[in-house]
Amino acid sequence: MQKQLLYISIIFLAVLCFAACSDDDKDNNGDALSLKASSESIVLDEAKGNDVVVSFTWNKGKDQGPENTLVYFFRLDIWGADFKTSTDPVEFAPDEEFKVEYTNKELNDLILNKWGQIPGSDVKIQARVVAKVIGPKFVYPEISIITLEVKSYVPTPETLFLTGNASPAGTDLTKAVKMTEVEAGNIYQWQGVLKPGNFKFISILGESLPSLNKGAGDNVLVNRALDSEPDNMFEISIESIYNIEVRKDNMTLKCEINVPYPNLYLVGNAGTGWGIPQDLHKFMMKADNHNLFELDINLNPGEFKILSAENYDDYTLRPMIASAPVTDDRMQANKGGEDIKWVIKEGESGHYKITLDVYKMKIKFEKQ
């Protein structure tokens, strides 16, 4: 009987020690990593675009020992994409506040523009935080993922107009040129002729404010809301066809000369022959004016034309009449049709500098 009591006492003490050790381990290791959202069912509101609509927070997760450090990475993605189309990871050190917030507009922009969902639709998104272990040995990271239901909204179109003495409508604000809204409230594009002068952008036809003006650099936009603020404008020095793109998300401007034929080649027996590619002589685009191309070449009696690619199937720059002399400065772009060329006559051979203006569609021959 005494032996049985002794055995029971030993087993009881062992159970107590095991339970105590388990509690100690739990206290030492901490709780498992757990990601939480302020709301798991969200209806986005355009009228509250700049208000925070959801906050993500998490705990430190399990302690991996004094020899290891934890670094946390947060991502957001559309449901079902397995985080292959996620936002860029946001990194957190162990001593930082573990919090990520999104406004109504930010989350709606992600749903529509990054993940390509239909405006106004109900979607599911997933948030993930990974606790990466930095230490002498590899340790599998803790991961926590949650799913949210979100109803997006259909953004109200926002107009943007081009104005200034460089624009086709000049400085008359009531006739400012409307730009194409490519991405709702964010990206705007326009293609057309600008002449030497300056330009800016206005939001309301006929009203000078608010406007988007030139910032600290040639490609930087700034908002102008008051008459007292600088009315700096973008400048144009060369008349040409331009491609313009405005991005409000990063306040940048792209304004580039539209180059219809970025590569041009002279070919013909007035040069070295009709073979491709061995008889192609490439024109060089001028760095300060992308409408102008130049070529220095020896020309002999014969014919030539100008190709826009290394084949005979794409557009060709050619004269307006067959067997055009070097004194005729007119040219046209054509694909197919009559095969007309320039002619170098006997007595005209020599070294030439040829200049092409693809905006004015002019050609100039200068015998050196």
Tally of CB atoms within 10 A around 243: 14
Is 161-257 in the same CATH topology as 34-151?
yes
Q: Is the pLDDT of residue 179 over 80?
A: yes
Q: Which two tokens stand for residue 25?
A: 């381990």
Is 202:211 a contact under the CB 8 Å cutoff?
yes
**Domain residue ranges of the chain, discontinuous segments joined by +:** 34-151, 161-257, 264-367
What pLDDT, on a 0 to 100 scale, did the predictor assign at position 29? 67
Is 289:356 a contact under the CB 8 Å cutoff?
no
Q: Is the pLDDT of residue 169 over 80?
A: yes
pLDDT grade for 2, boundaries at 50, 70 and 90: low
What pLDDT, on a 0 to 100 scale, did the predictor assign at position 294? 97
pLDDT grade for 198, boundaries at 50, 70 and 90: very high
Q: Which DSSP helix (H) or strand (E) runs through 67? A: none
Closest CA to 200 of 229, 232, 178: 232
Classified as helix, coil or strand, 91 is strand
**Which of 59-68, 108-117, 121-130, 247-256 is predicted with the least confidence, judged by mean pLDDT?**
59-68
What pLDDT, on a 0 to 100 scale, did the predictor assign at position 63? 85
- Per-residue pLDDT, averaged over 276-296, amounts to 95
The DSSP result for 8-41, as a single string, is HHHHHHHHHHHHHHHHHHHHHH-PPP-EEES-SE
**What is the spatial distance between Cα 240 and Cα 171, in angstroms, rounded to a whole number?**
19
What are the distances in angstroms from CA 142 to CA 8, 23, 32, 161, 278? Answer: 40, 21, 8, 51, 62
Q: Is the pLDDT of residue 39 over 90?
A: yes
Is 168:143 a contact under the CB 8 Å cutoff?
no
**What is the spatial distance between Cα 178 and Cα 180, in angstroms, rounded to a whole number?**
7
Q: Is the pLDDT of residue 47 over 60?
A: yes
Tell me the per-residue pLDDT of 140-166, one tens digit each, with 9 for 90 and over: 999 999 999 999 998 888 899 999 999
Architecture of the 161-257 domain: Sandwich (2.60)
- Per-residue pLDDT, averaged over 188-210, amounts to 95
* AA identity, residue 262: P
**Which of 24-38, 61-75, 88-102, 141-155 is predicted with the least confidence, judged by mean pLDDT?**
24-38
* AA identity, residue 337: G
Report percent pLDDT > 90 for the chain.
80
The phi, psi pair for 62, rounded to 5°, reads -70, 140
120 conformational bin, left if phi > 0, alpha if psi -120 to 50, beta if neither = left
Q: Which two tokens stand for residue 222?
A: 């700034």
**What is the spatial distance between Cα 42 and Cα 280, in angstroms, rounded to a whole number?**
62
- Per-residue pLDDT, averaged over 32-42, amounts to 96
- Per-residue pLDDT, averaged over 125-139, amounts to 93
**Which of 13-22, 140-149, 279-288, 304-313 is predicted with the least confidence, judged by mean pLDDT?**
13-22
Query: In CATH, what class is 34-151?
Result: mainly beta
Q: Is the pLDDT of residue 18 over 50?
A: no
Per the omega criterion (within 30 degrees of 0), is the bond before 277 cis?
A: yes
CATH fold, domain 264-367, is Immunoglobulin-like (2.60.40)
Q: Is the pLDDT of residue 15 over 60?
A: no
Closest CA to 335 of 315, 355, 306, 364: 315
**What is the spatial distance between Cα 367 and Cα 85, in angstroms, rounded to a whole number?**
58
Average pLDDT of the chain to the nearest whole number? 91
**What is the spatial distance between Cα 352 and Cα 265, in angstroms, rounded to a whole number?**
15
**Which of 7-11, 44-48, 135-139, 352-356 is predicted with the least confidence, judged by mean pLDDT?**
7-11
Tell me the per-residue pLDDT of 319-362, one tens digit each, with 9 for 90 and over: 999 999 999 999 999 888 889 999 999 999 999 999 999 999 99
Q: How long a stretch of residues is the chain?
A: 368
**What is the spatial distance between Cα 138 and Cα 255, in angstroms, rounded to a whole number?**
50
What pLDDT, on a 0 to 100 scale, did the predictor assign at position 25? 42
The residue among 115 and 28 whose pLDDT is bigger is 115
Calculated CA dihedral for residues 179, 182, 184, 187, nearest 10 degrees: -70
